[in-house]
């Protein structure tokens, strides 16, 4: 039997609402899959908790995250809750959690589901790609560092290591091997996105990419500069399968990816390492919507599906894999029906109504 302990961090703003909706879905799918058992432990953390206690992520909560089988994290951060230096607490918590868990690969699916309208007139050929973002290095490695000289000069340093790049590129190729290829022609392809024509650090990233690619001869490879890729994702999204890139570029292009498939309310993510997995929606806490029961929970629900998929692979657990498939299929059915669209997709369904519709689809 697959028995797992999951830590849930509901966070701030709309976070608790979309987490509650997702937990309902997770509990229902667990009840319906033989051989799957889940224990969910919930903790307070984030900006609201910082406002009460002066700490965003307590040591005991972090320890529990590290001892759990996986972590479900909802949206965190409140713009009016700031540290004494004037900055928000969200980056501290996120970077601290990522570094402690050593989740070096962020996986961001960009998939256009039936029933969802893309703003692109190039979407008819299909959009089903994945952005794999190096999660601990790149420009983000300067977080908490950098240099300011008086009021005149500020610098941050990009860090690209061979080992960090090798690991995230390897994740990209293994992911491509499991997928059905790009919608254009079914070719399994990994594309390296960089700025190797200007910066030595990105030329090094591309060189390591090539080294890893040589170990996966059955997967086609491609390269593109990041500025060109921001164009290609709009002009011909069906031509791409798996894109791998440095941290900052991944942060930017994953939001573009969300925009072309319906918005951040449909953008799940998985942040994985060798030992730990962190699963969260890509959207923010939207405090102006908090407590109104109008937030779209689909991104959080699909993140839970990614959690089950990761547990299935990590533990060779068919039951967890079945749970992942059922959740995504149920969410897809709800979107395709068009009956329970939340406000960000042009509908009027509430957070709880969308969750109930996903649960009803699960029960079928």
Residue 285 makes CB contacts below 8 A (sequence gap 6+) with 11, 12, 13, 14, 15, 47, 75, 76, 77, 78
Q: Could you give the CA distance from residue 308 to residue 18 in angstroms, rounded to a whole number?
A: 18
Tell me what pLDDT residue 152 has: 87
pLDDT in tens, the chain (364 residues): 589 999 999 999 999 999 999 999 999 999 999 999 999 999 999 999 999 999 999 999 999 999 999 999 999 999 999 988 788 888 888 888 999 999 999 999 999 999 999 999 999 999 999 999 999 998 877 677 777 788 888 888 899 999 999 999 999 999 999 999 999 999 999 999 999 999 999 999 999 999 999 999 999 999 999 999 999 999 999 999 999 999 999 999 999 999 999 999 999 999 999 999 999 999 999 999 999 999 999 999 999 999 999 999 999 999 999 999 999 999 999 999 999 999 999 999 999 999 999 999 999 8
**Whether this model's pTM surpasses 0.75:** yes
**pLDDT for position 142:** 67
Domains of the chain with bracketed CATH: 1-104+265-364 (3.40.718.10), 118-261 (3.40.718.10)
Beta strands in 43-143 (DSSP E): 70-73, 105-111, 128-134
Residue pair 57/100 in contact (Cβ under 8 Å)? The answer is: no
Taking a C-beta distance cutoff of 8 angstroms, is the pair 9, 43 a contact? yes
The per-residue DSSP string of 148-171 comes to EETTTEEE---B--HHHHHHHHHH
Backbone angles phi, psi at 224, to 5 degrees: -155, 145
């Amino acid at each position: 039997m697959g028995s797992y302990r999951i830590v849930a961090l509901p966070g701030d703003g709309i976070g608790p609402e979309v987490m509650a909706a997702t937990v309902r879905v997770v509990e229902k799918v667990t009840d319906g899959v033989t051989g799957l058992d889940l224990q969910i432990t919930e903790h307070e953390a984030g900006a609201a908790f910082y406002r009460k206690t002066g700490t965003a992520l307590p040591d005991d909560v972090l320890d529990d995250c590290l001892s759990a089988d996986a972590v479900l994290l909802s949206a965190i951060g409140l713009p009016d809750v700031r540290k004494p230096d004037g900055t928000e607490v969200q980056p501290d918590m996120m970077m601290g959690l990522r570094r402690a868990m050593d989740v070096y690969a962020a996986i961001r699916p960009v998939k256009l589901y039936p029933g969802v309208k893309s703003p692109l007139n190039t979407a008819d050929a299909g959009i089903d790609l994945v952005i794999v973002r190096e999660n601990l290095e790149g420009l983000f490695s300067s977080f908490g560092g950098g240099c300011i000289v008086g009021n005149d000069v500020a610098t941050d340093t990009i860090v690209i290591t061979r080992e960090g790049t090798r690991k995230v590129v390897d994740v990209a190729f293994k992911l491509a091997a499991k997928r059905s290829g790009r919608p254009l022609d079914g070719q399994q392809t990994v594309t390296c996105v960089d700025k190797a024509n200007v910066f030595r650090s990105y030329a090094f990233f591309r060189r390591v990419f090539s080294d890893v690619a040589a170990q996966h001869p059955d997967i086609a490879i491609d390269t593109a500069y990041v500025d060109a890729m921001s164009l290609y994702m709009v002009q011909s999204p069906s031509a791409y399968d798996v894109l791998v890139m440095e941290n900052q570029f991944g942060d930017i292009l994953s939001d573009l990816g969300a925009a072309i498939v319906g918005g951040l309310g449909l953008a799940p993510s998985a942040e994985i390492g060798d030992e730990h997995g962190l699963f969260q929606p890509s959207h923010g806490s939207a405090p102006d919507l908090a407590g109104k029961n109008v937030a779209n929970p689909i991104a959080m629900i699909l993140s839970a599906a990614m959690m089950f998929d990761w547990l299935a692979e990590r533990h060779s657990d068919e039951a967890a894999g079945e749970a992942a498939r059922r959740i995504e299929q149920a969410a897809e059915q709800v979107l395709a029906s068009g009956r329970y669209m939340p406000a960000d997709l042009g509908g009027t369904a509430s957070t709880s109504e969308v969750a109930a519709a996903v649960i009803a689809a699960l029960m079928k």
